[in-house]
Chains A and B, each alone.
Chain A
């Protein structure tokens, strides 16, 4: 038997172990599979980060190219391990602060152009049925989300009610799509068992 065939048999056993949950809920086979998954994923994460990121940054950037200024971010990164030392947890927050500041700054600097395009694109020429529906749904959906306004009468009442119905259409279509997505994933597993391993399907 080739390595590929052994691989497919192993894969099939793994799928069955995971799917045993469907029949009996939390059971030894499933729990075993779950723990194996976490262990291998962690091991791979360590090895992959070392091979493709840590090693080149240290050996090439710092040692070979002499970019020793990278020691500063390296130290910032290492500070996160202060989390494990009682009384010094606050030091780890400095690293987190650096990352959070960077993320928040980028969100404020880069998100508005994407978001504003969405706003501008909503004010379209009302020259077709689709455009009218589109405009009405956007506006009424926003009315529905305006929780600080009183919506017990007038245009806001009926507008937000229409918005609510429109959102139900959106959620329904999302659910329909999601069902299809997950069925495709089951099909993927079945193809491994019946096509790749058992060769019952062409």
Chain B
């Protein structure tokens, strides 16, 4: 039962969605779909503590067992407790809450993400070499796009932006469409495998 029940639930839920979508069952279709969507929303809301509990467990055990860098785990737990209290007392849109979120968390988050800019540049410098036909096409296409999408491209070579736009909207678009069609067929097959219980890795019992 432990193995079969989840697979049955997947099958029944998916079938319910498809039947209410594809068959005209009068007002029942719409009502049933809306109710199911509401159930999904409400169940996700009630499961919202899953991540935080996991996080606390992990860092609590780091502190308890004095694992390397446990001090940072302790800092995390203290900040988590203090900011949760502040956000409940001040409200999620209170001045202090927004200060903490906007001026600290968002800034660190976006700065870490922006670091990728430096890595993208150094990766290009280290690896983009005219080694063979494929690598050369890749390099030339990237350079044209870089030049064409910044205003300086047209200043150096006129109409670079037009060429970049052509690459983007014709060969790039067609290539991406080829990839997308292939991926969609794959996703379609994967969905069917999940619904039929052929793909069971998510249950932890193997495929």
Contacts and interface: CB of A to CB of B under 8 A. Distances in A.
Interface of A: 3, 7-8, 10-11, 14-15, 17-19, 21-22, 31-54, 57, 70, 72-74, 76-78, 80-81, 83-84, 89-90, 93-102, 104-112, 115, 118-119, 122, 130, 133-142, 144-145, 163-180, 182-183, 185-186, 188-189, 192
A168 B108 contact: no
Interface residues of B, number: 116
B40 A179 contact: no
Main secondary structure of the interface of A (DSSP, over half): helix
A35 B76 CA distance: 5
A176 B141 contact: yes
A72 B57 CA distance: 28
A101 B11 contact: yes
Contacts of B137: 165, 168-169, 172
Contact of B12 (A96, A101, A141): A101
A98 B43 contact: yes
Given A35-B72, A169-B175, 17 more contacts: A7-B103, A10-B103, A39-B80, A49-B45, A54-B45, A73-B42, A77-B43, A102-B14, A102-B17, A104-B195, A108-B188, A112-B188, A133-B171, A178-B120, A179-B142, A185-B116, A189-B111
A89 B167 CA distance: 51
Task: Report the 8 A-B pairs with minimum CB-CB distance, sorted nearest first.
Answer: A176-B145, A141-B178, A172-B141, A101-B13, A77-B46, A105-B17, A170-B175, A182-B117
Contact of B84 (A7, A21, A43, A74): A43
Contact of A77 (B11, B12, B44, B204): B44
Contacts of A57: 42, 45
Interface in B51-85: 51-53, 55, 57, 69, 72-73, 75-77, 79-80, 83-84
B10 interface: yes
